[in-house]
Amino acid sequence: MSKDTHETMTQGPIPRVLLSLALPTMASMLMTSIYQIADTFYVASLGTQATAAVGITFALTSLIQAVGFTLGMGGGSLISLSLGKQEKERASQIASTSFYLALLLGIGIALALGARDPILTLLGADDQILPYARDYSFFLFLSAPLFTSSLCLSHLLRSEGHTGYVMRAIVSSGLLSLVLSPLLMRFLGIQGISLATLLSQLLCLCLLLYPFFRKKTVLSLRLFPLRASSLRLLPSILFNGLPSLLRQGLAAVSAALLSRAATAYGAGAVAGMSIAGKIFMIVLTLMLGYGQGLQPLLGYNYAQGLTRRVRGAALFCLWTGTAGLVLLAAVCFLQAPFLISLFSTEEEVQGIALLALRAGALTMPLLGICTIVNLGFQAIKRPVIATFLASARQGLFFIPLIFLLPPALGLLGVQIAQAVADAATFVLSVPFLLYFLRKAVDKKNGKG
């Protein structure tokens, strides 16, 4: 680790350092959300079956993302701790092990292309949807190694502090996808959109590998996994990345259960809940990006025993993040009719989405504590607590609620289930936040 980077992380003004790490991460995640929503918009013009086909493949996309997030965030938080102790060789071993495993698992997913019809049928594709799902998923399967390894690399680079470069790489690949999707769709139909995704991921991976090839990083990607010492790092990487795996996996399960619950009330309910969810997800993505920007700062300083600085960074991120969420919640609540009209003009759809979005807006400011405490424990290598908190929002609360509330309240139960789950997650998170600030960071016998 360079002397300048170490001094910045451990001595630089917390607001400036945090914002320099978090803003690029937020921009990167926002860009990813935008081009995913744009893809949905393009596919909708091809008809109901095509739109359904994209929905069917959501679980596959979530699996690919889960691999990249698990290894990237699991390895990234360990790298920040290692660099905080100035253990460069160990940090490079972790980075190499994470990257090569992400690449190998991505190749494994790509090889499942030969069995895509049974897989798509298992995911729910019927005879009408299957042809579209088969076409769309072809390049999606092939892009898996690019997707998993680029997601992993983005987190590894962020753990070293290269958030600005990661942002530029992701934004560049996102813009390429936005340009290519409608162009290739004219010639290849729905398959053209997934081809645009593959090409954008190829560009992203090349851009993220560039600083390693040019030796502009502290980390290096060598064949460390061939050594027994590197293989012994795998359990720690996977265990530390488990919160990300549960967070991503349970989100996919929850989305599927929400759609199934809404289906009982007609297509309008499904569409309305989907629209509210997309708007809400943009806000959640921004908060998650802000928290991920905090993680390297916590990791560096926790490794040095700078407990006062760890607390200060966590509190600054918490208060500023909550203030931002209050502002966004007010916009979502007051401007809900306008936001929803951007996606649909049908009165039934708008009415259902309106209540769901406003219910979500009421609990939106609570997500700051939920996010920061979860990512904070992951950053200081407390994976058991982090895993429990990561599974709480969707697994512990939302999944039971989506089974209990609709039978009792009807459609209203579907509309408010996520908001109730978020409120419950907030109540659960408060004592963990107090423990984090008062005791957890002192386990290193810090310098105060």
Q: Which of 83-87, 169-173, 198-202, 360-364 has the lowest mean pLDDT?
A: 83-87
Q: Tell which wins on pLDDT, 361 or 44.
A: 361
Rg for the chain (alpha carbons), in Å?
21
* Residues whose CB is less than 8 angstroms from the CB of residue 73 and which lie 6 or more positions away in sequence, other chains included: 155, 240, 241, 243, 244, 292, 295, 378
* Residue 177: φ, ψ to 5°: -65, -40
Residues 240, 387: Cα–Cα separation, whole Å = 8
* Residue where the block lists tokens 């390049």: 139
Q: Categorize the per-residue pLDDT at 1 as very low, low, confident or very high, splitting at 50, 70 and 90.
A: very low
Mean pLDDT (whole number) for 56-67:
77
pTM assigned to the model: 0.73
* Helix (H) or strand (E) run with residue 182 in it: helix 163-188
CA distances to 142, 168, 256, 266, 351 from 171, in Å = 22, 5, 29, 37, 34
Query: Which tokens belong to 157?
Result: 């680079």
First to last CA, the chain: 23
Mean pLDDT (whole number) for 226-246:
73
Q: Categorize the per-residue pLDDT at 448 as very low, low, confident or very high, splitting at 50, 70 and 90.
A: very low
Q: Given this model, what pLDDT does residue 4 score?
A: 64
pLDDT in tens, 342-358: 777 778 878 988 999 99
Q: Name the residue type at position 239.
A: F
Q: Categorize the per-residue pLDDT at 285 as very low, low, confident or very high, splitting at 50, 70 and 90.
A: confident
Looking at the predicted structure, is the pLDDT value of residue 328 above 70?
yes
Looking at the predicted structure, is the pLDDT value of residue 3 above 60?
no
100 neighbors 225 (Cβ within 8 angstroms)? yes
Mean pLDDT (whole number) for 18-24:
84
* Helix (H) or strand (E) run with residue 248 in it: helix 234-263
CA distances to 84, 89, 355, 358 from 2, in Å = 11, 13, 51, 47
> Which string of DSSP letters, residue by residue, matches 38-88?
HHHHHHHTT-HHHHHHHHHTHHHHHHHHHHHHHHHHHHHHHHHHHHHTT-H
Helix, strand, or coil (residue 189): coil
146 neighbors 205 (Cβ within 8 angstroms)? yes
Q: Which residues of 378-388 are buried (b: 16+ CB within 10 A; e: fewer)?
A: bbbbbbebbbb
Looking at the predicted structure, is the pLDDT value of residue 405 above 60?
yes
